[in-house]
Amino acid sequence: MIRLFSGDGPRSTILALILIVIGLALAFAPFLFPGVRALETAARICIFVVLAASYDLLLGYTGIVSFAHTMFFGLGAYGVALASTHMGRGFTALGVGTLAGLAAAVALALVIGLFSLRVRAIFFAMITLAVASAVTVLASQLSAVTGGEDGLVYQIPRALGPAMRLDREIAGVTITGKILNYYVVFAISLVLFLLMLRIVNSPFGRVLQAIRENDFRAEAIGYRVVRYRVTATCLSAGFAALAGSLWAIWLRYVGPGTTLSFEIMLDILLMVVIGGMGTIWGAALGATLMVLAQSYLQNLMALAAGATEALPILSRLLDPDRWLLWLGVLFILSVYFFPTGIVGRLRARAAR
Amino acid sequence: MSEPILKLEGIETDIGRYHILSGVDLEMPRGQVTMLLGRNGVGKTTTLRSVIGHWRAKSGRILFDGQDITRMPTPAIARMGLGFVPEDMGIFSDLTVEENMTLAAASGPLSPKRRDRIFAAFPPLATFWRAPAGTLSGGQKQMLSIARAMAEERRLYLIDEPTKGLAPAIVSTMAAALRELKREGASILLVEQNFAVARALGDRAAVMEGGRIVWTGAMAELATDAKLQSRLLGLSVEGV
């Protein structure tokens, strides 16, 4: 098991338990939590775990701040959407779209990296911001190609759609194409996650960490820092694009709001920071918590508001419409109490 | 006499607006320990950093084993066999001692023979082999920093103030390790403020003043001439 995790286990009993619960819940989500909304949430968690982990590869392990991560995510998603639109529904279209999105993301990351990582890291952050904004504008303006603000709606293979039903029930749940689709998302996300864990724990990952801590020292030992930074940028972009392709396969819709928006970029940043930078596990935890909060905080608050109906001010504060306020409060508290992220905090506790 | 392992010709280096080195000339004989001495702020660290390419010399030439490295990128210089131990130690504190050593052996795996030698010179590194380097004490971090330079065969070592701020017992461990390196015939350029250590280790000495080298000669000569010391280094009492 530890070998599967590349020797980098959770290293904290509490963390291990939480992660086991998350893993099992995701693995059996269609059977444990019936309903469309629960399955949507589970798929979203899988994909955002990969997306946040790929961002952590850059931010946490290499110490590079990028604002273009949603752009790479979007490239993967639009790749699948465009291929499915033009080639018609089919697995070939999914494959071609995924590969095209991946290639575009890696190539763009290579160009941006070579262009800006030679100088200071802050320059890279600004360049990514500029390029990402430009791509977002392009995606919404080139409506003939991208569908503009409306985005693209397309069909995916019948086997993965909700209309397909197997004449079989497992544990009382009818197996639909949507459930198969979920397991495609789950399985690929799991493989990608383990692959990233492998990368950060490889000698290559150690060099990245060394560069993050003291880039000049890493150079003085003989490592070409620019080359490593660019490689990390390309890897991170590639994983983000793959997450985007999964997202497109799952949603059957791609638009600027669901892939390229700056809100998603901030979400990813928060997932990584709350979970714990520089620990791929933290990305998993952060993404899960964040997606759960986004999906269910409103319901929870509706319950709370109902329960406190008699109290004048409190029930107004707990009104479901105020959910963003409470989400903000939760973030501030978590960053205040866990500056090293939840994983950092739990590991520090376990080490004592 | 064979070609010098390191030769600086008229090196001038600016850091930002400040003119730090104004024409450093130095020839370092092969297989010897050359002490780079001088008061604080005369440019000793900048000289080392100009060699490794952290600060770029704006004029002059640096020859490493006969090859011009003045404009070479830092990683390429390092891979030519130059081990650099910076003043701030620059250990990777998030990584374990083992990982620090593995990274330092950039051209291949750390050989067991070398590892054993390093353990013999610095026993605490064996004890804390799998601990994060950030948890080491100051002296142990300095040991790790030097051990990293020893992780591979190097043609030249540049070591910046290895005994700075260390307890006397650790200073002697450090001095013993450097003496061991010297016995193996390593060429070392060593910046050292502790004159007792400098005297014990150095074959030759080069004294800097105001961004250039003002005196070079045998360490023994400097060590026995109190007047010279006081003039060059401001040492009033011999051996301080």
Number of folded domains in chain A? 1
Contacts of A222 in chain B (CB under 8 A): 75-76, 78-79, 106-107
Are residues A217 and A207 in contact, defined by beta-carbon separation less than 8 angstroms?
Answer: no
3-state secondary structure of A63: coil
Last-in-domain residue among B118, B135, B153: B153
Q: Which B-chain residues 175-204 have CB contacts (< 8 A) with chain A?
A: none
The reply to whether A209 falls in a domain is: yes
- Which residues, in sequence order, are bridge partners of residue B85? B159
Shortest Cα distance, chain A CAs vs residue B112, angstroms: 18
- Please indicate, yes or no, whether residues B69 and B161 belong to a single structural domain of this protein: yes
pLDDT at position B239: 44
Domain assignment present for B76: yes
Q: Which residues of chain B have pLDDT under 50?
A: 237-240
Torsion of CA B45, B48, B53, B57, to 10 degrees: 80
Q: What is the CATH number of the domain that holds B39?
A: 3.40.50.300
Instruction: Tell me if A7 is assigned to some domain.
Output: no
Q: How far apart are CA B175 and CA B180, in angstroms?
A: 9
Tell me what pLDDT residue B240 has: 41
Q: Is B60 helix (H, G, I), strand (E, B) or coil?
A: strand
Given B104, B130, B153, the domain boundary residue is: B153
The answer to whether A341 and A277 are in contact (CB under 8 A) is: yes
The pLDDT tens digits for A77-93 are: 999 999 998 988 889 99
Cα of B234 to nearest chain A Cα, Å: 32
Inside any domain, residue A341: no
Asked whether the predicted pLDDT for residue A145 surpasses 80, the reply is yes
Q: Judge whether B219 lies within some domain.
A: yes
Domain ends where: B153, B174, B191?
Answer: B153
Same structural domain, B59 and B173 = yes
Residue B213 lies inside a defined structural domain of this protein = yes
Bridging pattern class, strands B33-37 and B188-191: parallel
Q: Do B42 and B62 touch, CB atoms closer than 8 A? A: no
- CB under 8 A, 24+ apart: contacts of B222-230: B222/B37, B223/B199, B229/B195
Kindly state whether residue A348 falls inside one of the protein's structural domains. no
Interface of A with B (CB under 8 A): 203, 206-207, 209-210, 213-214, 216-225, 278
Smallest CA–CA separation between B101 and chain A, in Å?
11
Which residue range forms the structural domain that includes residue B207? 1-81+155-240
Tell me the pLDDT tens digit for each residue of B58-115. 999 999 999 999 999 999 999 999 999 988 878 899 899 999 999 998 878 888 888 9
Question: Do B104 and B212 belong to one domain?
Answer: no
> Is B240 found in the same domain as B159?
yes
The better pLDDT of the pair A305, A287 is held by A287
Q: Which chain A residue shows the shortest CA-CA distance from B54?
A: A216
Which amino acid makes up residue B211?
G
Within-domain flag for B87: no
Residue A210 with chain B: CB contacts under 8 Å: 92, 95, 103
Look up the ipTM and state it.
0.82
Does residue B77 sit in the same domain as residue B159?
A: yes
| A207-254 per-position pLDDT tens digit | 999 999 888 889 998 899 999 999 999 999 999 999 999 999 999 999
Tokens of A85: 């639109």
Boundaries of domain holding A188? 13-260
Same domain, B148 and B160: no
**Token pair 């990777």 in the structure block, residue:** B92
How many domains does the structure of chain B reveal? 2
**pLDDT reading at A1 higher than 70:** no
pLDDT at B238 (0 to 100): 44
Q: Which of B229, B148, B191, B175 is nearest to B43 (CA)?
A: B191
Query: Strand B67-68 relative to strand B59-64: parallel, antiparallel, unpaired?
Result: antiparallel
Q: Cα separations (Å) of A227 from A223, A256, B75, B190?
A: 8, 32, 11, 31
Same domain, B135 and B220: no
Q: Does B174 share its domain with B188?
A: yes
| 3-state SS track over A312-325 | HHHHHHCCHHHHHH
Please answer yes or no on whether B107 and A222 come within 8 Å at the CB atom. Answer: yes
